[in-house]
Amino acid sequence: MAVAVNSQLNPLENAERQFSEAAARLKLDAGIMELLKRPRRATIQWLPVAMDDGTIRMFEGFRVQHNIARGPAKGGIRFHPDVSLEEVSALASWMTWKCAVADIPFGGGKGGIKVDPTKLSRTELEKLTRRYAADLSDLFGPESDVPAPDVNTGEREMAWIADTYSMHERRTELAVVTGKPLEVGGSQGRREATGRGVMICVEQMCKHLNMPLKGARVAVQGFGNVGSVSADLLARECGAKIVAVSDVTGALYNEDGLDIPALIAYAASHKKGIAGFPGGKPLTTSIIEYDCDILVPAALENQITSDNANSVKAKIVAEGANGPTTPDADKLLEAKGIHVIPDILCNAGGVTVSYFEWVQNRMGFYWQEAEVNTRLREKMVKAFGDVIAMKAKTDAESTVSLRIAAYMVAIQRVLRVHELRGMYS
């Protein structure tokens, strides 16, 4: 008996629906829509690894380059048991539009390996990462495809990739990957960049709505890098009150506000997440439905769907994750008057500082963190303003969401480069 599949949870289908709605608003013809929608290249790798017990195990890897008209493909590598070609293809397309919204000279790419990294030893994980990098060394490069961290990868894995690529090239090439340790050519402010970008977008949205951010009640789903940094900065720099937080181990709430630095320290020391933190009470209901002013979904895709969108109580949804809201849910949130800061804008801080890291690697001169943060703020504020301006312009004809306005900004920028470059055929 066939198992019914919930199509709204298909990330590639969702990405294409979002693109198609914006493209229709721009009145693009069918051929141009296909050109901009389809990935230029998708690869599948089978990666053999000699395990610690002497056995050989095969792992499935993926890399998709969606569009490189504006520059090298840019996008992270995730290690997760649910990674698929469809998911990576969707994420690659989102990267194209994210880079264009932020107006940085990259195209979109994404990669992943179908693996649970917690089940591998450090040695096995290094072998797998290096094999993946070696197999894709003909694609990777500072001028062609520049990976970065994503779910379950970080500075360590990026250092391994930089070293593997450099060994194959017989020279040290740091600009092949971003999100590296500072000692290996990383950038100041890179680790906090995505969360800082979320904070800046929330600031801008509150200003746009004339809504006070100081004292605003915030719930954060996902307490990894993006969620924890977003929570810390919103509380510390903006005076917001973080009243609920969740991760894979559970969820906590405290109506008086959680002590975020203490929670970060607790999660780091326990290495198992936030469960058991004494400064909060266990939350037994979905954090998506928690009564708050601002909701930051910073976990995985498809967290807000048509099944729970009507239960969202937040006034603002700031998408720290990629694709956390399905297109069906978008319509329901819009009907409720909830303001969604779309992922391709809200979490573009990470790729923006990745661009800064790439620039610094290529010129061999490194900026202080204050300069990185200043440049990031300028980029994010400009991007937010561009999207608001597009929405205002389009609303004169018919109302669009911020997500569709962001896509319209991005599509116009990518299309303009295609028009100027012409078509090689």
Element (H, E) at 48: strand 41-50
> What token pair was written down for 276?
């058991």
Do 195 and 233 contact (CB within 8 A), yes or no? yes
Distance, C-alpha 260 to centroid of its chain: 22
> Residue 187: which of 379, 367, 376, 378 has the closest Cα?
367
Token look-up 């999100």 returns: 179
Residue 323, number of CB atoms within 10 A of its CB: 24
Q: Where are the beta strands (DSSP E) in 123-214?
A: 145-149
Give 235-268 as a DSSP string. HHTT--EEEEEEETTEEEE-TT---HHHHHHHHH
Exposure string over 389-408, b if 16+ CB within 10 A, otherwise e: ebbeebeeeeebbbbbbbbb
Do 145 and 134 contact (CB within 8 A), yes or no? no
Q: What angle do CA 255, 259, 260 make, to 5 degrees?
A: 115
Active centre residues (catalytic):
110
- Beta strands 217-221; 294-297: pairing state: parallel
